[in-house]
Structure 1
Amino acid sequence: MPGKPLKVLITRPKAKAQQLALLLNQQGIVNTSQALFDYQKNASAHDIATALENADILIFVSVAAVEFAHASYPLPNNLSQTIFAVGNATKKALQAIGITTTLSPSPQQEHSEGLLKLPQLSKVIGKRIIIFRGNGGREHIANSLTLRGAEVRYIESYQRVWRTLPIIIAEQWRAQKINCIVVTSNDILLALLKYLASTTNSTDNYWQSQCLWVVVSDRIEKNAKALGLTRIINTHGASSQILCNTLQALSCS
């Protein structure tokens, strides 16, 4: 974006948004944050205890899945199950509560597809697998492992409570000359586009055709294109450092 400094909108949940904002501030990249949802505890101690008694493999899909499960039922650090984390941040969240023997994909494969490529999940016939996640969400991991012969259940340790944003927020983004938006999930992408459509004149296509959208996976990129976005950068990774590196490179181009 030669001659046009980046002004970035971060749409991640609060903790991850703060982490990315700190890195961007250190690089002198102007940014603002707006979470689209909040987290709320969703599973009981009994639910989690019962699941742990009847599982061979545990999969944690996010930091929130770890933190809210542990808040509901303190997870012992000597679990006998094989434990997987979808990404490095989730792995670190498990380490923070004393669970150190965790398997996870490489940094460039921190998503469902990367997890499913791990050889330890290739032969799971008859295995009882518990996936810790939020309410709803993608079914790809469960469906794939079921096809491989596993018995899969969910513990939805938290739920997302979506915010209702007033029109003035979108007006503030335009006043701040936001020209780049970071989106890290399809749910966030859909919610944000729905909000922008409700606050923008139908003839105004700024967000769709002029704003740069930074996404973190092929799946989100494909969906963004299908929804009419034209300027898309795929970082192929959702860590704050990967996002910062991409935005720093863009700001220097």
Structure 2
Amino acid sequence: MTGWRLLLTRPAEDCAALAATLAESQVFSSSLPLLEIQALPVSDSQRAILQKLDCYSAVIVVSKPAAHLGLKLLREYWPQPPSQSWFSVGAGTGQILAAAGLQVFYPAAGDDSEALLELPQLREAIRRPEPRVLIVRGEGGRELLSERLRGLGASVEYLELYRRCLPQHAEDELLRRIQGERLNGLVVSSGQGFCHLRQLAGPAWPQLAAMPLFVPSPRVADMARAAGAEKVVDCRGASAAALLAALREAPGPVL
């Protein structure tokens, strides 16, 4: 596993944390953040959702930025949070919510929408009469989650708190980084991250498409393969543990 030299593309703070964990396992990484979190102004419709938060059978928070921004608003509108169950897609997001004193459930393994939907606590929450679910997220994403919840009889609303932007990079920065640091694997943490990777690659995309690409879910894997990526590895989660497990199981890099 120590032969891997990976490009990390998460937001800067997450890249730093992941790089430190990889280094403990003697995996070299180089960080080029392709996602920048930009908080959205709170709209009147969002205020209305926050004021009726206790009407929801379940609140699902899909990312760490959604958790941090959501908790900030929660403290403004609910000094004593309502007693419904909260859910997160991954353990990292769940731990942020739990540290704030919320009752939160998340999958023990497989931090993706599919694993979340199998949680008994979520199934129980939406068995109530006319269940309503609030998904706290950035702009767009997790459509499978909402579709499946509606299929189970729940009504779904969104509280969108941020957008993901592509940071400013020189046009040749991506390829120059890969060649200059002899990187042999790419890591993306979301569908938006993959779109930004391909956008920044530009004409060099066919060259990058031949490299091993580690993705967090079947949905992103399908996106990548449809775009021409040849060696897609589904980590079944965006956590460092999921990536390390995938690195152990994947064929070794070409040195």
Same structural fold, with TM-score higher than 0.5 when normalized by the shorter chain: yes
**Matched residues, number:** 244
Letter in 2 for 1:217: S
Partner of 2:121: 120
Distance 1:235 1:213 in 2: 10
Of the candidates 172, 178, 202, which is equivalent to residue 197 of structure 1? 202
| Superposed displacement of residue 245, structure 1 | 3.8
Distance 1:119 1:154 in 2: 22
Of the candidates 32, 35, 41, which is equivalent to residue 33 of structure 2? 35
Distance 2:232 2:160 in 1: 31
Q: Give ranges in structure 1 of 5+ residues lacking alignment.
A: none
Moved more, 70-79 or 162-171: 70-79
Partner of 1:66: 67
Quick check: 1:163 aligned with 2:161? no
Show CA shifts across 1:27-68 (max 9, x none).
222211111121122253835532414322211111111101
Tell me the TM-score normalized by structure 2: 0.85
Tell me the TM-score normalized by structure 1: 0.85
Of the candidates 133, 136, 144, which is equivalent to residue 132 of structure 1? 136
Q: 1:236 to 1:49 in 2, by over 3 A?
A: closer
Show CA shifts across 1:7-34 (max 9, x none).
1101112222112100112222221111
* Percentage of identical aligned residues: 28
Quick check: 1:18 aligned with 2:16? yes
User: 1:161-240, aligned counterparts within 5 Å?
Assistant: 161-170=165-174, 171-198=176-203, 200=204, 205-209=206-210, 211-240=211-240
Distance 2:99 2:244 in 1: 24
Distance 1:61 1:116 in 2: 13
Task: Tell me if the contact between 1:20 and 1:241 (Cα under 8 Å) persists in the aligned partners.
Answer: no
Task: Tell me if the contact between 2:235 and 2:245 (Cα under 8 Å) persists in the aligned partners.
Answer: no
Q: 1:51 to 1:139 in 2, by over 3 A?
A: farther
Partner of 1:103: 105
Q: 1:125 to 1:144 in 2, by over 3 A?
A: farther
Distance 1:43 1:97 in 2: 23
Distance 1:252 1:190 in 2: 26
| Superposed displacement of residue 218, structure 1 | 1.9
Distance 1:184 1:90 in 2: 14
Q: Which SS does the other structure have where 2:136 is aligned?
A: strand
Distance 1:125 1:17 in 2: 43
Partner of 2:152: 148
Q: Which SS does the other structure have where 1:167 is aligned?
A: coil
Letter in 1 for 2:93: T
Distance 1:180 1:92 in 2: 29
Moved more, 230-239 or 242-251: 242-251
Quick check: 1:91 aligned with 2:94? yes
Task: Tell me if the contact between 1:125 and 1:150 (Cα under 8 Å) persists in the aligned partners.
Answer: no
Q: Give ranges in structure 2 of 5+ residues lacking alignment.
A: none
Quick check: 1:82 aligned with 2:85? yes
Runs of 4+ in 1 over 4 A off after TM superposition: 75-78, 248-253
Distance 1:86 1:231 in 2: 25
| Superposed displacement of residue 167, structure 1 | 1.8
